[in-house]
Amino acid sequence: MKYQLHKESHIRRIKIGESIFDEGDQGDFAYIIEEGEVEIWTTVNDQRLVLNILGVGSMFGELALVDKQPRSASAIAKTDTILTLVTKEQVNRRVEEADPILRMLLLMVMRYFRSETNLFRGLKVNQSSNSFCLDKQKQTELSKGISGAVDLIRMESDLRTAMYQEQFKLFYQPIINLVTDKVEGFEALIRWQHPEKGLISPDLFIPLAESTSMIIPIGQWVILEGLRALQRIKEVSGQELYLSFNIASRQIEDSNFLKWLTVSVKKAHIHPHQIKLEILERTLFDNERTLSWVYNCHQRGFLVVLDDFGTGYSSLQYLNDCNLDTLKIDKSFVQKLDEKSNSKSIFQAILNLSKALGISVVAEGVETQKQLEILKEMNCSFGQGYFFAKPFPLNEAIAFLSSY
Dist CA 378 CA 259 (whole Å): 39
CB neighbourhood size of 189 (10 A): 18
Q: Which pLDDT value is given to residue 293?
A: 93
Q: Which pLDDT value is given to residue 261?
A: 97
Phi, psi at residue 363, to the nearest 5°? -90, 120
Sort strands 38-44 and 74-77 into parallel, antiparallel or unpaired: antiparallel
Domain layout of the chain by residue ranges: 11-158, 167-403
pLDDT tens for each residue of 344-367? 888 898 899 899 889 999 999 999
pLDDT tens for each residue of 367-397? 999 999 999 999 999 999 999 999 999 999 9
Dist CA 65 CA 261 (whole Å): 36
Adjacent-strand bridge partners of 185: 175, 242
Q: 11-158 and 167-403 share one CATH topology? A: no
The CATH T-level fold of domain 167-403 is: TIM Barrel (3.20.20)
Q: For residue 110, what pLDDT band results from cuts at 50, 70 and 90?
A: low
179-193, 280-294, 310-324, range with greatest mean pLDDT: 179-193
Mean pLDDT score, 106-112: 56
Q: What is the 3-state secondary structure (H, E, C) of 318-368?
A: HHHHHCCCEEEECHHHHCCCCCCCCHHHHHHHHHHHHHHHCCEEEECCCCC
Is residue 324 within 8 Å of residue 359, measured between CB atoms?
Answer: yes
Identify the weakest region by mean pLDDT among 24-33, 69-78, 284-293.
Answer: 284-293
Question: Which has the higher per-residue pLDDT, 23 or 111?
Answer: 23
Is residue 358 within 8 Å of residue 151, measured between CB atoms?
Answer: no
Is residue 350 within 8 Å of residue 361, measured between CB atoms?
Answer: yes
Is residue 96 within 8 Å of residue 104, measured between CB atoms?
Answer: no
- Estimate to the nearest angstrom the gap between the alpha carbon of 349 and the chain centroid: 33
11-158 CATH: 2.60.120.10
Please give the torsion angle defined by the CA atoms of residues 204, 207, 210 and 215, in that order, rounded to the nearest 10 degrees: 20
Q: Which pLDDT value is given to residue 125?
A: 37
Sign of the Cα pseudo-torsion (330, 332, 336, 342, in order):
negative
Return the percentage of the chain with pLDDT > 90, whole number.
44
Side chain identity at residue 237, one-letter code: S
Q: For residue 43, what pLDDT band results from cuts at 50, 70 and 90?
A: confident
Q: Which pLDDT value is given to residue 328?
A: 94
Dist CA 376 CA 379 (whole Å): 5
Enumerate residues 6+ apart whose C-beta is below 8 A from 222: 168, 170, 188, 190, 245
Q: For residue 333, what pLDDT band results from cuts at 50, 70 and 90?
A: confident
Dist CA 242 CA 260 (whole Å): 19
Angle formed by the axes of helices 136-164 and 202-210, nearest 10°: 90
Dist CA 314 CA 325 (whole Å): 16
Return the CA Rg of the chain: 26
Q: Which pLDDT value is given to residue 72?
A: 82
Quote the Cα angle for 187-191-197, to 5°: 165
Dist CA 347 CA 333 (whole Å): 7
Look at residue 103 and tell me whether its pLDDT is greater than 50. Answer: yes
Look at residue 233 and tell me whether its pLDDT is greater than 50. Answer: yes
Q: For residue 286, what pLDDT band results from cuts at 50, 70 and 90?
A: low
Q: Which pLDDT value is given to residue 159?
A: 86
Host H or E run for residue 38: strand 38-44
Question: Which has the higher per-residue pLDDT, 94 or 209?
Answer: 209
Residue 329's closest CA among 312, 352, 356, 347? 347
Q: For residue 164, what pLDDT band results from cuts at 50, 70 and 90?
A: confident
Between the two ends of the chain, the Cα-to-Cα distance in Å is 38
Look at residue 295 and tell me whether its pLDDT is greater than 70. Answer: yes
Mean pLDDT score, 227-250: 94
Mean pLDDT score, 11-29: 90
Q: For residue 117, what pLDDT band results from cuts at 50, 70 and 90?
A: very low
Adjacent-strand bridge partners of 76: 19, 39
Look at residue 128 and tell me whether its pLDDT is greater than 80. Answer: no
Q: pTM for the whole thing?
A: 0.71
- Estimate to the nearest angstrom the gap between the alpha carbon of 275 and the chain centroid: 21
Which DSSP string do the residues of 164-224 spell out, in sequence order?
HTT-EEEEEEEEEETTTTEEEEEEEEEEEEETTTEEEPHHHHHHHHHTSTTHHHHHHHHHH
Q: Which pLDDT value is given to residue 281?
A: 79
Phi, psi at residue 179, to the nearest 5°? -90, -45
Side chain identity at residue 239, one-letter code: Q
Average pLDDT, the chain: 82
